[in-house]
Amino acid sequence: MENIEEVISKLAQDSVTLNPAPHPFMITLKWTVLAAGYILLSLIISGVRPDIMIKLNEPWFVAEITILTGTFIATALSAALLSFPDIHQMRRLAFFPVIPFALFVLILFLAWHADSQPAPLPVHSFECTISIILFSMLPAVWTFFEMRKFASTHYHWGGSIALLSAFSVGALWLRLHEENDSIMHVVQWHYLPMLAIGILGLWLGKVMLKW
């Protein structure tokens, strides 16, 4: 039998140097930059809604876009934290998306209440949901790909948050692209499907993140 010192020395020589995992804040920053570039490039190709300058002077539209952006950042941070088995010892921040989601519901309700003369419904309906889902696929892929690197043990919740984060990117792009003023249409076909997407993520997270 080899001498114990020789065994330890051999194991030390055979060890592989591992790079430390990036901080969740840096992961979130990376995803945010990717999402911003993705939306910007897509808007260059697809075009910005022609009334964008008018809409940027409407408080409720600005509030909606702002809180939707905040929802993406919050869910991206939560997904980054849930990528780690110990949630990077930031459990409270992992549940932070609850706050922007609650504010989002409040803003949509107030915008609907302020819409005393509702805009006519567009001729299309579920096409918006499909567009958001298709646009969200790439953000979903890169989010799941990154999360798999860190051996998450929270795959149900992590998968749900990851899909909600990706869906937020798609919803943000469509609001900046589509000329549509009907708050009822936006709620029904842009944002209510987020509930189904979140439930789907519970299953998809187990498939994609379990190891």
182-205 pLDDT tens trace: 888 888 899 999 999 999 999 998
Q: Specify the pLDDT at position 112.
A: 82
Answer whether residue 103 is part of any domain.
Answer: yes
CA–CA dist 209, 183 (Å, integer):
36
Residue 1 has pLDDT above 50, yes or no: no
Question: Which of the pair, 41 or 9, is modelled with greater confidence?
Answer: 41
Give the ranges where 47-150 is alpha helix by DSSP (H): 52-55, 59-82, 91-94, 98-114, 127-147
Answer whether residue 84 is part of any domain.
Answer: yes
Structurally, the chain folds into a number of domains equal to 1
pTM: 0.86
Count the Cβ atoms, other than its own, within 10 Å of residue 128: 22
Answer whether residue 145 is part of any domain.
Answer: yes
Mean pLDDT of 151-157: 85
Within 8 A by CB and 6+ apart from 31, the residues are: 76, 79, 80, 139, 142, 143, 146, 165
Q: Specify the pLDDT at position 6.
A: 63
The domain of 66 spans 22-115+123-209
Residue 155 has pLDDT above 90, yes or no: no
CA–CA dist 146, 106 (Å, integer):
32
- Choose among 112, 194, 206, 101: nearest CA to 159: 206
